[in-house]
Amino acid sequence: MSKLEDIVSLCKRRGFIFQGSDVYGGLAGTWDFGPLGVALKRKIMQTWWEYWVDKRDDMYGVDAAIIMNPRTWVASGHVATFADPLVECNDCHGRFRADHLGDFGEGVTTEEFRAAGAKCPNCGKSDWGEIKKFNMMFETHVGPVTDDTSIAYLRPETAQGIFTNFKNVVDTIYPDLPFGIAQQGKAFRNEISPRDFVFRSREFEQMEIEYFVDPENWQKSFDELLTDCHEFFENEMGLKAEDIRDYDVPAEDRAHYSKRTIDIEYNYPTGWGELMGVAYRTDFDLGNIERESGKSMVYRDKMTGKSFVPHVIEPSVGVERLLMAVLTNAYHEDEVNGEKRVVLQLPENLAPYKFCVSPLLKNKPELVEKAKEVYQLLRKKYQNVTWDDSGNIGKRYRKQDEIGTPKCVVVDFDSLEDGTVTVRDRDTTEQTRVKIEEL
């Protein structure tokens, strides 16, 4: 199992992920994606969209505003209930999520917490104040006046942008049930204690689907979507089945809107943690919108004529958590010619670059010219191709191994004679001669 610090080090060293605002000392819970991180992240998001939306007949996309009418968050219950248990150490005044300091649920009481003897991560003392509920939504103001009438929130989830557009999609597309609405986008949560690299941060991206079903058939759709999620992780993201498990969340730990939730967990370097959730939200959200807005969310089935408010199943995954799982799965260390080698064995569909093209020697103009021809040929065909002529060929191989490039193409003197190049495989390190036109 790879160590978290090794992955963090690789991400900074090779331009995947940096600490947010690092030049100014950083800002806890925020992360910036460098050139390779952006490439990996976008490939993950693009693959998700293709799998769940483009390749299906029952999915439709939306892209809703980040700042929404504040009544949205009153209706959804976020204003009243979207809170974590905050506890303060009376000795050093550090503040933490109480349920992260022991084997507690989010509903842990002060008495239960103190009785467990939890120690402060900062000072090691066990002198705690009262547990308080801390609402995690970022509050802002809209317009030129700052008062109670201008309060708005940065969205803590992308789901509500889907629910508020349910009627718009039905009225314009009128799809047959069951059908889903998908969205990718930023979400913001004022986490008490962001931790574990990009696993828990204050600004992140979600990929969510709200799948609208006849209440009588919710279980069938739930099971099918859960199966599809596992297929996506294993076949599209390359995650190993043995590193994924389902956790049936008990009623006392489920979100306020959920009648059933399966957390799909991944075996991260920090242990098993939630990768995504599949939740049966019933008609909680559409029912709330009806009550708060006074507008009907009833769907009339075109085949049966039956009218009802659909129920909802929600598969929701955080992009950064999925990216962290992909990196964890890909990170390997081995030996090549007696030297330690770090290699990211990324699936080819996710690797930032498909090929790296190099001249064997950068001070030989004829090799550089031929290598540039090969580079342009592959760029035209595959787009995600990089060029590298720095250092010796061994150092170039090590660099490309670390960033996950599946194939390195080297132009040498034989290439000038017979039109072949050396293609070196990232995972096996084997080298073969291939005709340029066959690349």
**Average pLDDT rounded to a whole number, residues 337-352:** 92
Residue 304's pLDDT is 87
Q: CATH 3.40.50.800 spans which residues of the chain?
A: 353-438
What confidence category does residue 404 fall into, taking pLDDT thresholds of 50, 70 and 90? very high
Summarised one tens digit per residue, pLDDT across range 117-126 is: 889 988 888 8
CATH superfamily membership of 4-70+145-327: Bira Bifunctional Protein; Domain 2 (3.30.930.10)
Residue 395: pLDDT above 80? yes
**Average pLDDT rounded to a whole number, residues 421-436:** 94
Dist. CA 231–CA 335, nearest whole Å: 32
Do 241 and 96 form a contact (C-beta atoms < 8 A)?
A: no
Q: CATH 3.30.930.10 spans which residues of the chain?
A: 4-70+145-327
Task: List the helix and strand counts (H, then E) for the chain.
Answer: 13, 23
Q: What is the 3-state secondary structure (H, E, C) of 206-224?
A: EEEEEEEECHHHHHHHHHH
Q: How many CB atoms lie within 10 A of CB 382?
A: 12
Q: Residue 332 pairs with which residues in a beta bridge? A: 343
Dist. CA 90–CA 113, nearest whole Å: 14
Residue 356: pLDDT above 80? yes
Do 4 and 197 form a contact (C-beta atoms < 8 A)?
A: yes
Fill in the DSSP letter of residue 284.
Answer: H
Do 404 and 352 form a contact (C-beta atoms < 8 A)?
A: yes
Specify the 3-state DSSP secondary structure of 80. Answer: helix
> Using alpha carbons only, what angle is made at residue 277 by residues 299 and 18, rounded to the nearest 5 degrees?
120
Dist. CA 37–CA 91, nearest whole Å: 40
Q: Where would I find the beta strands (DSSP E) of 105-202?
A: 132-135, 139-141, 151-153, 179-188
Fill in the DSSP letter of residue 352.
Answer: S
pTM: 0.90
**Average pLDDT rounded to a whole number, residues 397-407:** 95
**Average pLDDT rounded to a whole number, residues 257-276:** 92
**Average pLDDT rounded to a whole number, residues 11-21:** 94
**319-330 and 4-13 are packed helices; what angle lies between their axes, rounded to 10 degrees?**
100
Residue 165: pLDDT above 70? yes
Dist. CA 240–CA 191, nearest whole Å: 30
Residue 209's pLDDT is 98
Q: How many CB atoms lie within 10 A of CB 38?
A: 15
Dist. CA 367–CA 356, nearest whole Å: 15
Percent over 70 (pLDDT), the chain: 100
Dist. CA 153–CA 139, nearest whole Å: 5
Unique residue bearing structure tokens 């959730």:
277
Summarised one tens digit per residue, pLDDT across range 62-75 is: 999 999 999 998 88
What are the φ/ψ torsions at residue 359 (nearest 5 degrees)?
-85, 145
ω into residue 178 within 30 of 0, thus cis? Answer: yes
**CA atoms lying within 13 Å on the CB side of residue 307:** 4
- Cα distances (angstroms) measured from residue 10 to each of 52, 299, 426: 31, 50, 17
Residue 1's pLDDT is 67
Residue 338's pLDDT is 80
Dist. CA 279–CA 231, nearest whole Å: 18
With CA atoms as reference, report the closest residue to 163 among 295, 301, 306.
295
Residue 326's pLDDT is 97
**Average pLDDT rounded to a whole number, residues 261-272:** 95
Domain 353-438, CATH number (from 3.40.1160.10, 3.40.50.800, 3.30.310.50, 3.40.50.150) = 3.40.50.800
Summarised one tens digit per residue, pLDDT across range 184-227 is: 999 999 888 888 899 999 999 999 999 999 999 999 999 999 99
**Average pLDDT rounded to a whole number, residues 86-110:** 86
Q: Say which amino acid occupies 227.
A: T
Residue 325: pLDDT above 70? yes
SS3 content of the chain, % helix, strand, coil (to 5): 35, 30, 35
